[in-house]
A and B are shown apart, each in its own frame.
Chain A
């Protein structure tokens, strides 16, 4: 008991700050990844071979961009993007410095996931909407996005947890967060107790977000 009290006295604040930084980094990055990824996924579906507005060239170009984005290892991207990150947020350090590479790394991934979710929408529903005179925009917003909402929400929890893992790597460039703490205290200073505490916090956070995502998806699904 004493040990725990002493431990929290010494590292409580540090771990709380790390937890908060991780949540902010991951949350804000997920948000921006979707701001880019949803239009990207929609564009992939709409311009696809069986899409509402098939466009071979545009579809191929978007596909390449997504594939290239997804094939660059995150740790490389992180370093390579430093000048770009500085230009966008003014620094390559700390939480803001981590958000830029996290968004760049995950937006193509989100684009594919959104495409996948939309592809699951029954083609019959799209045809029905067309038969009532729906425009392409109306089909996207009122049929594709609405009908795939449960699947999109499951995608958000997958993205969030993936970015959670990436954010630990961002710790290596001074991003802060739980991953940073685990690396600095556990790997570099051999303070196993701090590392274990940080890892336990990571496990708890992932479980919480996965469950929250599952509950939300189930709640909105009316099938």
Chain B
């Protein structure tokens, strides 16, 4: 359970130039939710999600994770909190000078885990995201969709209960977007990871989120079950977002391609995704205790 209470963030400046990125934000994100936070650029989405793992320090209010107030954590406790929350980014943020495998082992290296168990764990995670055979490549040799899969595997390395997704599909084409969203949904369902999904795209939110909050000018203007918000938007901001969302059509019309040979060629990951669902597949056994 993530609770944000009266959260605010003001960037210092003079009275006129001070920027209120967040104003009195109240949100409760339940365990197992895929919680979407949507809004235009500059609305405060990124600041909000960065407050959850304290990459940004709120200037007011509290953050509670599983009932524990984490707002003022520092030092070792802060680093421990961060390592218990996975995060993925719009531009993937993979280490260019490390192999795929060593990108995934990175969070484990930070905790001084021994080489053998951490590489074993990383290989399992790469299987889970469908990239088992690309462990020794470098990020520059992968497609955008594949890079985001590596980033997802890396974010899962520490068995997080929470995963923050900051515009995770915004740099991807429609096809890769669909496959990444499906992977995130699978991880949420199979591993029970709570997801906080930041996006400017309503289509993305509609596809994966069970609840959404709409943010505008640093304030939450609407919050509720995804289906209800879309069916009956209360706020003018939400209505405008729905009208302007050009991607909606694209994504809504998108059908999972038949798994033919041709489809697998451009993104090998798409085909192997099915492994995750296969009963008795070792990848599925990567539950929280399964390390």
Contacts and interface: CB of A to CB of B under 8 A. Distances in A.
Given A133-B107, A138-B110, A222 B55 contact: no
A220 B97 CA distance: 8
B97 A149 contact: yes
Contact of B79 (A125, A135, A223): A135
For the residues of A in contact with B, the DSSP-based class is helix
A147 B97 contact: yes
A86 interface: no
A142 B97 contact: no
B220 to A, nearest CB: 23
A223 B106 contact: no
Contacts of A147: 95-97
B138 interface: yes
Contacts of A150: 97
Interface size class of B (residues with CB under 8 A): 20 to 34
A136 to B, nearest CB: 10
Contacts of A149: 97
A149 B96 CA distance: 11
Interface residues of A, number: 23
Given A142-B106, A142-B109, A146-B97, A130 B82 contact: yes
Contacts of A222: 96-99, 138, 140
Interface in A116-135: 122, 124-125, 127-135
A132 B106 contact: yes
Given A124-B89, A138-B110, A222-B138, A133 B83 contact: yes
A131 B79 CA distance: 8
Nearest to B53: A131
Contacts of B158: 132
Nearest to A128: B93
A142 B158 CA distance: 18
Nearest to A124: B93
Contact of A131 (B80, B85, B99, B140): B85
Interface of A: 122, 124-125, 127-135, 138, 142-143, 146-147, 149-150, 220-223
A130 B97 contact: no
11 contacts: A122-B93, A125-B93, A125-B95, A127-B89, A129-B106, A130-B55, A132-B106, A132-B110, A133-B84, A133-B107, A147-B95
Given A143-B95, A147-B96, A222-B138, A132 B89 contact: no
Contacts of B80: 133
A149 B99 CA distance: 15
A208 B280 CA distance: 59
Shortest 7 CB-CB distances between A and B: which pairs? A133-B83, A128-B93, A133-B82, A131-B87, A133-B79, A132-B107, A222-B138
